[in-house]
Amino acid sequence: MPSPAAMSSFDNNGAASNSHFNNSNPTSSASSSSNTRPRQPPNPSVHDEDEPDEIDFFDTVDAPDILGDDPLRDDTPLSFKRKQKPGLFSQGGRLLSALTGGGSPYKAPQSSPPGSERLGHLPSSGKDGAPLDWYVEGPGRRVGYEDLTAIDWIFEYTKERQRLRVLASSAAGLLGYIQQFLDASQVWVVLVLTGLAVGALAAAIDVATDWLGDIKYGFCSNEDGGAFYLSKTSCCIGYEEQAKCTGWKPWSTALGIHSAGGKWFIEYFVYLVLAVAFALSAAVLVKSYAIYAKHSGIPEIKTVLGGFIIRRFLGVWTLITKSLGLVLAVASGMWLGKEGPLVHVACCCANLFIKLFPSINSNEARKREVLSAAAASGISVAFGSPIGGVLFSLEQLSYYFPDKTMWQSFVCAMTAAVVLQAFDPYRSGKLVLYQVTYSRGWHGFELVPYVILGILGGIYGGLFIKANMFVARWKKSASWLPSPIVQVVLVAILTALINYPNNYMRAQCSDLVSNLFSECSKLLDDQFGLCKTGAASAGTIVLLIFASVLGFGLAAITFGLQIPAGIILPSMAIGALSGRAVGIIMEIWQRNHPGFIIFRSCEPDIPCITPGTYAIIGAAAALGGVTRMTVSIVVIMFELTGALTYVLPIMVAVMISKWVGDAFSRRGIYESWIHFNEYPFLDNSEEMPIPDIPAAQIMTRIEDLVVLTATGHTIASLTAILDAHPYRGFPVVSDPRDAILLGYISRAELAYNLHTSTQPPRSLPPETEAFFSHQPLADPRATLDLRPWMDQTPLTLPSRSRLHLAVTYFQKLGLRYVLFVDRGVLQGLLTKKDVWYVLNGAEETRRTSGGGTGGDGGGGGLDGGMMDGVGVGVMGAGVAREDGEGEAEGLLRVERGGLVGLDDGDPGSPGPDAGSIL
């Protein structure tokens, strides 16, 4: 998978990419004609690094390798050979210099004077005092990202390469190497700390969930050394059957009720009250403290790892609320799981430790690499499957997953699993409650029922996604529905009323799955009577199938409520119920017809069919059908069973399940929720159909763009433009007639400069001239030069390019926008939101109303003509069209508003949470 910055066409200072734009525009071509321009004495106050209004968000230091004198005027021959560093003993005194970091006969070239070399804020005069436009070309300086915007992957990786280059150039002697080692070890410190925290937190969640879940049935008395805070399993240690445990007191016994009907009624009532109380508490916690703690969090994590900013989604309050809410929600007995939300918990822990290291925290691209690695620890502790967690992060979560991230994921997942094993929350030596082993293998004829289970799993996945999305759309459109908290209470009441009378649904999902997976010869406590004599009967099969159907309905209405909820464990439970039913059918068939031709391979006096293996294969098939994962599910199930012999049947079932599920829809449950929420996520691994049309057919054409000209602005006019248009950025052209592209400036950088320039110490008046091209005669103290904050090397494509190439740019590089030019002349712009709507089948294009679309420099919706004195080029409003030829081709835009969480092109207001980025 290529890096989002691997295809970048400019170097760190971006000097070469758009030099033809400047050469085409005489007003901004200082580097090509500096010898003919009048000399201008250098003014050290032009770019004073101490000015408070010029805060350098591009936090770099001196970079002598790219920021020295003008390379166009240097007569030194270029060499592309790597210079060998002198050894420690190559010259006298070298060892002492290396140890102390002091002087050496091998000195690095001197850089420019301090205070003038920062990238994007560079000296304005060369050796002879002549202005050099060379030094202001590049990706520009940046301020922090706003909430609900996309990050610039290329800029972030460019910034990281610059930081590492500066660190290497300043690493003198042994102390320098130690500094580099400490810098490189920061990621590993974060991952190890994350593994320790996730393992401990997962153990605490397991213990608390187990105890609260058992409280619905009774409590542990002080008999036999018990205590109230112990779960039923911990209270009854030493008993082969929990039914014989004297220390555990059901609520009917504690209340002194002895009649059979009275016992059933009072225990039903207590179960109902506590289940609703737990669900209500979880909903109130989420509503009051962290709204981002709802759902599983995996769709949002995929979006964040894809380069989107969601403030407070990985914050401390989200971590606390998610952990407590998850305990309460799972303990309520609702059909949800904690496996998916544990991934969100793991990422929150990683984000908390990332804040300790500014070099990682200040780079959004590096932060996402660490979060991708940390996500593996969530699945590791959820399933006791470190390798499966790494593959889950690779297959399901990560947008960009280089080789180093796989190694980092492995370390983090292993650390979390070791810590969980050390805590041993179940006091059984197992990482998870449903971890089992099988003593018998499988027979060739069993491949047929395994394939049937795969088909059933795919059908379940397809139907579940459709049902869950139908419920979500219905809730979104039905304005008469009660508040989210009331919805949670109603579903909790319905779930408790249905669960308790059904023996299989009454228990927690983890206990149910554990018993369904078990092999009868190794099961000591048969809580559900699946292994007793006569259990293999038609009545048991009907009850299992009935429970799976009810579980399907309850899970479909539960997943999506405003509480922490995962879908992995409910899907496994539903698949295990149906799988166990198929296994019992095969067991009855073989027992009644042992001489049938397909059963002749069975050994005598040894059970031929193991229903528990059908349960685990059914669970894998159901999980594959709902998530559309393959490799990671196989590995997770293999690590759960530890039986290498069952890898092939699991692979067959998962493969069939994915094929059948894809026949319904190619989107899994997480992708469906991303699409439902309209998150700006372009999966670079998904094979989606791309229309074979020119990119110009859907781009925002220049006549529909609000663009800025190089000159003719004042601070007041630019402020008026920002107030009038909500776009995230604006292309900059030479003039409206030629429209030579000079660059692109983001709304955040433009607004920041306009604000700070009017504040002390500069305190420029509103009528101050502002410009985007080199003005040799301008007084830097009385004008505003915006070139250092403009991206003068944006990625561009010819307007004749096919849409497939443009989509590849967005997917592989994680771009926010692409500009289309022909011979340097701006033709149009395509944003990530435009691409998202095209690939996700927008039902209709929409006409832009007065305020515009809010796209990245998107269409204006203004009347034609030039706005006097502000240098804004606007051409008519235009109508969105999907078809058309030549100059009649239109643009595909979407109206503003709707769901919070749109892409970089949406100017929507900040979400309910405000605070620091991530």
pLDDT value at residue 136: 54
Long-range contacts of 643-652 (CB under 8 A, 24+ apart): 643/437, 643/438, 645/441, 645/442, 646/438, 646/441, 646/442, 646/613, 646/616, 646/617, 649/442, 649/446, 649/447, 649/450, 649/613, 649/617, 650/616, 650/617, 650/620, 652/447, 652/450, 652/451, 652/454
Report which of residues 755 and 10 the model is more confident about: 755
Mean pLDDT over 314-323 rounds to 93
Whole-angstrom Cα distance, residue 339 to residue 346? 11
pLDDT value at residue 426: 82
CA distances, 14 to each of 138, 215, 387, 539 (Å) = 4, 64, 41, 73
Give the tens place of pLDDT for each residue, 697-750: 889 898 888 899 999 899 999 999 999 998 888 999 988 888 899 999 988 889
pLDDT value at residue 106: 33
Verify cis geometry, omega within 30 degrees of 0, for the bond prior to 780: no
| Contact by Cβ (8 Å): 148, 309 | yes
Least confidently predicted of 292-306, 414-428, 674-688, 854-868: 854-868
Report which of residues 545 and 68 the model is more confident about: 545
| Confidence band for 281, pLDDT divided at 50, 70 and 90 | very high
Give the tens place of pLDDT for each residue, 557-599: 999 999 999 999 999 999 999 999 999 999 899 888 888 888 8
| Confidence band for 153, pLDDT divided at 50, 70 and 90 | confident
pLDDT value at residue 304: 92
Give the tens place of pLDDT for each residue, 331-355: 999 999 998 999 999 999 999 999 9
Q: Is the pLDDT of residue 327 over 70?
A: yes
651: left (phi over 0), alpha (psi -120 to 50) or beta: alpha
Give the tens place of pLDDT for each residue, 189-239: 999 999 999 999 999 999 999 999 999 998 888 776 678 888 888 888 777
| Confidence band for 862, pLDDT divided at 50, 70 and 90 | very low
- Copy the structure tokens of residue 757: 């320039």
Q: Is the pLDDT of residue 128 over 50?
A: no
Least confidently predicted of 85-94, 219-228, 601-610: 85-94
Q: Is the pLDDT of residue 280 over 50?
A: yes
Q: How would you class 433 by CB atoms within 10 Å of its CB: exposed for 0-12, middle for 13-18, buried for 19 or more?
A: buried
Helix/strand/coil for 28: helix
- Copy the structure tokens of residue 359: 């070099």
Whole-angstrom Cα distance, residue 654 to residue 593? 30
| Confidence band for 6, pLDDT divided at 50, 70 and 90 | very low
- Cα dihedral 815→818→676→458 (10° resolution): -70
pLDDT value at residue 138: 65
Q: Is the pLDDT of residue 317 over 90?
A: yes
| Contact by Cβ (8 Å): 563, 282 | yes
Whole-angstrom Cα distance, residue 675 to residue 460? 20
Whole-angstrom Cα distance, residue 438 to residue 521? 10
Q: Which of 567, 582, 426, 576 is nearest to 513 (CA)?
A: 576
Secondary-structure percent of the chain, ordered helix, strand, coil, rounded to 5: 50, 5, 45
| Confidence band for 17, pLDDT divided at 50, 70 and 90 | very low
pLDDT value at residue 685: 63
Q: Is the pLDDT of residue 110 over 70?
A: no
End-to-end CA distance of the chain: 25
pLDDT value at residue 486: 94
> What average pLDDT does the chain have?
77
% of the chain surpassing 70 pLDDT:
76
% of the chain surpassing 90 pLDDT:
36
> Measured in whole angstroms, how far is the alpha carbon of residue 579 from the centre of its chain?
33
Whole-angstrom Cα distance, residue 23 to residue 417? 60
Give the tens place of pLDDT for each residue, 413-470: 999 999 999 998 887 777 887 788 887 888 888 899 999 999 999 999 999 999 999 9
Q: Is the pLDDT of residue 286 over 50?
A: yes
Q: Is the pLDDT of residue 908 over 50?
A: no
Mean pLDDT over 171-188 rounds to 87
- Copy the structure tokens of residue 822: 């022909």
Q: Is the pLDDT of residue 855 over 80?
A: no
pLDDT value at residue 555: 95
| Contact by Cβ (8 Å): 536, 588 | yes
Rg (CA), the chain: 32
- Copy the structure tokens of residue 1: 């998978």
Give the tens place of pLDDT for each residue, 35-66: 333 334 334 333 333 333 333 333 333 333 33
Phi (first) and psi of residue 646, to 5 degrees: -100, 10
Unique residue bearing structure tokens 């078990």? 518
Dump strand ranges (E) for 121-238. Answer: 218-220
Q: Is the pLDDT of residue 807 over 50?
A: yes
Q: What is 69-120 written as a DSSP string? A: S-GGG--SPP--SPPPPPPTTSSTTHHHHHHHT---SSPPPP-SPTTS-BTT
> Measured in whole angstroms, how far is the alpha carbon of residue 141 from the centre of its chain?
26
Helix/strand/coil for 620: helix
| Contact by Cβ (8 Å): 685, 743 | no
| Contact by Cβ (8 Å): 468, 556 | yes
